[in-house]
Structure 1
Amino acid sequence: MAEGCGCEKDSCQISIQNPLAAVGTQEPLYEATELRTGAANPHWSRRLIQPCLPQKVVAEMVGTFAIVFAGCGAVVVNARSDGALGHVGIAATFGLVVMVMIYAVGHISGAHFNPAVTLAFACGRHFSWKMVPFYWAAQFLSATAGAALIRGILGSEKALGATLPSGTDWESLLLEFVLTFFLMFVIAAVATDTRAVGTMAGIAIGGTVALDALFGGPVSGASMNPARSLGPALIALEFRGLWVYFVGPAAGAVSAIFVYKFVHGPTQEVARGAHGCCE
């Protein structure tokens, strides 16, 4: 679709959204195409426009806010409605909101929505370390804002969906490591491997989130995301086992990016990286 058109007598400037941009890719946000008329054969010229840092930061804020508000909100609604959603409904909510936000802003920020994912991309040299603090700030602040809005609207049922270990901290730590490893492995595939990039990225990642939540939720809460855990914890003042949801996801995500690099193989050139890729 054209974003806008400024026509002159002999030319017309239009901006076309790039349909190939996907989660974690280095694709430009817009492809601006100029059509010159008045000749037998119209002449097209193109220039690529990258989204600027404020656009990326706001996109990360919107995406992370939506994940916490919808996902943790589902936990609160389930508690208030005597289990109307159920465990499957909560897992599906998290998976669906991740999927739709990837399609909404993945072409702008890379759709990290998760400090562990941002850390992994930076460690794997697919993302600039200079941008990490900006992404982390956006993710943690928006997650806290999402939890605050849930409390303002729905009250403080179930600690606002805060992730709490149901067993020992070490059990939850190991599970969070494995769950995040699976998630980051899929993200690495669709974001850094040209053989796996396509319009199915959102479905693949959202499906992985839902799958992890289905079998990991009753044990650790299946956070896989330090921001998703910290936001509700701050608003609900519930910090039991919080360290688990920083160490487990961070270690799992970083491990996954390097394992995928090994599986990907040195002979295949990685043509795509996260937004802000190091040169």
Structure 2
Amino acid sequence: MVMVALVHGLALFAAMASSINVSGVHVNPAVTFGALLGGRISLVCAVYYWVAQLLGAIVACLLLRLIAGMRPAGFMEASGVGELRCMILKIVLTFGLMYTMYGTAVDPKRGSMGTTIPLALGLIVATNILVGGPFDG
């Protein structure tokens, strides 16, 4: 689980660090939705980001299937963990992601954070995987 979390966190860090000057930190539809709700981006911009994000996810899944013969598994909760508990946990973990995103990338009072932004977001994603991973099946 630690390796999975670290790989995800480092991959997200690299993706955001390489694109922060192009699109900010919009590599996740939830982050784009939060920025839209907070009035930090326009609806048109959010739709463009969502289309790009979803197309990127589709291409990644197709490449995974083509290269490795793998099919991404669906989402389900672990045995013994109810749907309501999983939903509450995912809400709390998403709040942590959005709080970190707003505190480092979106808030105009944040100051100059530079490359700390992708690092902080990569670390919160790794932490979320470590916390929430045991509850997913």
1:132-171 correspondence to structure 2 within 5 Å: 132-156=46-70, 159-166=71-78, 167-171=81-85
* Count of paired positions: 133
> Percent of counterpart pairs with the same letter?
32
Residue 215 of structure 1 corresponds to which residue in structure 2?
A: 131
Does structure 1 retain, via aligned residues, the 8 Å contact 2:25–2:118?
A: no
Q: What CA distance in whole angstroms lies between the structure 2 residues aligned with 1:220 and 1:118?
A: 24
**Matching residue's letter, 1:122:** L
The structure that is helix-richer by fraction is: 2
- Rg (Cα) greater in structure: 1
Q: What CA distance in whole angstroms lies between the structure 1 residues aligned with 2:103 and 2:83?
A: 30
Aligned-pair distance for 1:148? 1.3
Higher relative contact order (CA 8 A, sep 6+): 2
**Matching residue's letter, 1:220:** D
Q: What CA distance in whole angstroms lies between the structure 2 residues aligned with 1:187 and 1:149?
A: 29
Q: What CA distance in whole angstroms lies between the structure 2 residues aligned with 1:200 and 1:116?
A: 20
Does structure 2 retain, via aligned residues, the 8 Å contact 1:175–1:220?
A: no
Aligned-pair distance for 1:197? 2.6
Q: What CA distance in whole angstroms lies between the structure 1 residues aligned with 2:4 and 2:11?
A: 11
How large is the Cα RMSD of the aligned pairs?
1.7
Does structure 2 retain, via aligned residues, the 8 Å contact 1:189–1:197?
A: no
Q: What CA distance in whole angstroms lies between the structure 2 residues aligned with 1:216 and 1:198?
A: 28
Residue 104 of structure 1 corresponds to which residue in structure 2?
A: 18
**Matching residue's letter, 1:144:** I
CA shift digits 1:11-70 (9 cap, x unpaired): xxxxxxxxxxxxxxxxxxxxxxxxxxxxxxxxxxxxxxxxxxxxxxxxxxxxxxxxxxxx
Q: What CA distance in whole angstroms lies between the structure 2 residues aligned with 1:211 and 1:101?
A: 17
Q: What CA distance in whole angstroms lies between the structure 2 residues aligned with 1:220 and 1:195?
A: 37
The structure that is strand-richer by fraction is: 1
Gaps of 5+ in 1: 1-86, 222-279
Change (3 A) 1:115 1:127: same
Residue 38 of structure 2 corresponds to which residue in structure 1?
A: 124
Aligned-pair distance for 1:93? 0.7
After TM superposition, what 4+ stretches of structure 1 lie above 2 angstroms from structure 2? 161-164, 193-199
Aligned-pair distance for 1:208? 0.6
